[in-house]
Amino acid sequence: MAASKVPALLSCAFLLLGAAAGYYSPPSPASCELKVGYYHHKCPPAEAIVKSVVGAAVRQNPGVGAGLIRMLFHDCFVEGCDASVLLDPTPANPQPEKLGSPNNPSLRGFEVIDAAKAAVERACPGVVSCADIVAFAARDASFFLGGRGVDFDMPAGRLDGRVSNASRTLDFLPPPTSNLSGLVQSFAAKGLGVDDMVVLSGAHTVGRSHCSSFVPDRLAVPSDISPSFAASLRGQCPASPSSSNDPTVVQDVVTPDKLDSQYYKNVLAHRVLFTSDASLLSSPATAKMVSDNANIPGWWEDRFKAAMVKMASVEVKTGNSGEIRRNCRVVN
């Protein structure tokens, strides 16, 4: 499934063929309602508007692009791809997802989604869901950080959810301390396979991480981490990060602002931040996937495009199960 353009429908034919061949889990009925060009008649400029807003933001700060890609992952793994991660706290719900420890204070890009939603609302009031904007923004950020090699269509038709609970983030989002079996289980719970997990981990080729996400776990002695890389990290991070002293470091020191396959070369060289990254070498099967992604030109990019589309179809809301928010931060 390496083509850059998925069929006009993210139809059951597309995903069922993949499921039969062992590439994918069978699609849910809701995900089969998503289609490329969903807003072609409903709001023709919608995707171009989102792309323009995302492009301007990424040009100003490439790290925001990494945040938008991560936002899709963190949205879809909790309550499905329904923009529940965007909801602000209210008296009725003081602890929404965005305040969960996997998201706060590290998740970023909310202001880009706000700007895109405002621009789309001016063109087509009440038509485009926040969930679709999050998916489009992740697709567009991938393009602006990765170039034509990461250019793909994103099916749409999601509705926005009304439920958002910070405690659920710990239930479904794998922590950076995860071992391989934990990662596999977390992705399988969302209908994503081992190959999807390895491929989507490649998004760690962009963005930054707080020191607290890997200190002291990865800098303990002994460790599989490269000694020179560990020394560099010790020079940037306090020995005991705290809320008042928790700097960030780039995840990929070679091409920090480019979405590419360098991450897998870093895994092979033991120059990655997280236990979850290093764990990809802990089985022969995933180690081979890492090697293929690192060494075969275009291999990772093609799989990343397909995996992003698949992830963006997890537990989507359609029909009466959701709404189109007027403001992405509050339910209607």
What are the binding residues for Ca(2+)? 75, 78, 80, 82, 84, 97, 205, 252, 255, 260
Helix (H) or strand (E) segment spanning residue 248:
strand 248-250
In 3D, which of 199, 241, 259, 219 has the Cα closest to residue 105?
241
3 state DSSP class of 5: coil
- Interatomic CA distance for residues 281 and 297, integer angstroms: 20
DSSP 266-318: HHHTT--S-HHHHGGGSSHHHHHHHHHHHHSTTHHHHHHHHHHHHHTTTT-B-
In the chain, what is the straight-line distance between the N-terminal and C-terminal CA atoms, in Å? 38
Q: Which residues are annotated as a binding site for heme b?
A: 204
Q: Is 270 a catalytic residue?
A: no
Asked if residues 152 and 138 have their Cβ atoms less than 8 Å apart, the reply is: no
185: Cβ contacts below 8 Å, ≥ 6 apart: none
The pair of three-digit structure tokens given for residue 332, joined into one six-digit string: 């209607």
In 3D, which of 308, 309, 280 has the Cα closest to residue 293?
280
The pair of three-digit structure tokens given for residue 199, joined into one six-digit string: 């491929």
Asked if residues 228 and 269 have their Cβ atoms less than 8 Å apart, the reply is: no
- Interatomic CA distance for residues 314 and 190, integer angstroms: 7
Q: Which residues are annotated as a binding site?
A: 75, 78, 80, 82, 84, 97, 174, 204-205, 252, 255, 260
Please report, to the nearest 10 degrees, the dihedral formed by the alpha carbons of residues 227, 232, 238, 240 taken in order: -20
Q: Choosing from 40, 41, 74, 210, which is the catalytic residue?
A: 74
Query: Hey, what amino acid is at 208?
Result: R
Active site residues: 74
